[in-house]
Amino acid sequence: MGEKRKLGRQGLEVEAMGLGCMGMTEWYGATNDAESIRTIHRALEMGMSLIDTADMYAVGANEKLVGRALTGSWRDLAIVATKFGHRRDPDTGTFLGVCGRPEYVKSACEASLKRLGIDHIDLYQQHRVDPQVPIEETVGAMAELVTEGKVSYLGLSEAQVSDIERAHKVHPISTLQTEYSLFERHVENDILDTCEDLKIGFLAYAPLGRGLLTGRFQVASDFDEFDTRGTGTAYPRFQPGNFEHNAQLVEIIHSIGEPEGWSSAQVSLAWLLAQRSFIVPIPGTKRTERVEENANAIDIILTAEELDLLDTLDPRGARYPEASIPTSTSPPLPEA
């Protein structure tokens, strides 16, 4: 451990591996708050400063959990990254759509600060581009939060090239967060080139293919009843047929790691770190032993032959059902 990476050119610098907290409260099976809090603390003890959450994860409960972990001096060790933009019904959790209106940005930030129990958010990210609101207006409101001292750095998630460029003209964008792993490589070329050109850091989410790349899941019964991956409807890559094929591919990753004593998760994370120098993966785990394992992947250097072999992996199935794949772009600014 001990490699730092710069995210953007505004001063944000973090350990090369972050921690995703989404699965600690929802979607990936049974949860255990006490172990999740221990996991956040272990990450911080190991220098993994970037802690990623979002207001929509478990309708605010995830931010509250992160807030409980960051009491006292723990806060000083963390770079808190949260997101706004996906609205959910507070009672039922039903998704109500994306919102990037300026007044909503301000109120969402206040609500996140309260749930997290902190006086400023280190990295504030727009979760999804609102196709109804010009991104200049959304980022304009985010920039005001910086001026007010409520937010330090700005980020986007799943934004397309034109929106990244437009947003960056309003206020420097420090990070783009988008799915990237050995099983999901759509950001290669255009998106990553744009980040490189504009000096924007890249947070690779679902870097372990939502767990598939770890080799832990071989049959559908490996998921418990609370796990949305079990039926495959939420994620086509987990659908029967695709799932078995994809699980088999992990054998190749395993064959690289086994002689060295590296896990498939570690090899997958080391592959990401080798792609570009401004990438920080944010693997999600709710267990202390796995956060340690993931952190230690920073020290793994893969050979050119190993990287070439990993490039041959050919997974089946899309990352989301077609209607949910994020492709929205923001409308043009109205003419003055």
Residues designated as active site: 57
287 binds ligand NAP, rule: CB under 6 A: yes
Q: Which listed range, 137-145, 191-199, 285-293, 314-322, lies at the site for ligand NAP (CB under 6 A)?
A: 285-293
- 282 near ligand NAP, rule: CB under 6 A: yes
- H or E segment at 52? strand 50-52
Strand arrangement, sheet containing 79-84: 19-20, 50-52, 79-84, 121-126, 151-157, 175-179, 201-205, 279-281
Phi, psi torsion values for 219, nearest 5 degrees: -135, 155
To ligand NAP, the closest distance from the beta carbon of 152 in angstroms equals 18
Nearer to ligand NAP, 175 or 194 (CB): 175
Q: Compute the residue count for the chain.
A: 336
Q: How far is the CB of 290 from ligand NAP (least distance, A)?
A: 4
Q: How far is the CB of 255 from ligand NAP (least distance, A)?
A: 17
Question: Segment 134-173, which members bind ligand NAP (CB under 6 A)?
Answer: 157-158
- Reading the block at residue 24, the tokens are 């600690």
Residues binding ligand NAP: what is the number (CB under 6 A)? 29
Instruction: Output 149 or 300, the one with its CB closest to ligand NAP.
Output: 300
Q: From CA 119, how far away is CA 319, in angstroms rounded?
A: 36
Closest separation between CB of residue 83 and ligand NAP, Å? 6
User: Mask: binding to ligand NAP, 185-224, rule CB under 6 A, as x and -?
Assistant: --------------------xxxxxxx--x-x--------
Contacts of 172 (CB under 8 A, 6+ apart): 8, 9, 10, 154
Task: Give the C-alpha distances (Å, rounded to integers) separating 142 from 124, 131, 204, 255.
Answer: 8, 17, 22, 46
Instruction: Report the number of secondary-structure helices (H) and strands (E) in the chain.
Output: 11, 12
* Residue linked to tokens 């940005």: 105
Q: Give the footprint of ligand NAP on residues 89-108 (CB under 6 A).
A: none
Residues lying near ligand NAP in the complex (CB under 6 A) are found at 20-23, 28, 52, 157-158, 177, 205-211, 214, 216, 263, 265, 282-287, 290, 293-294
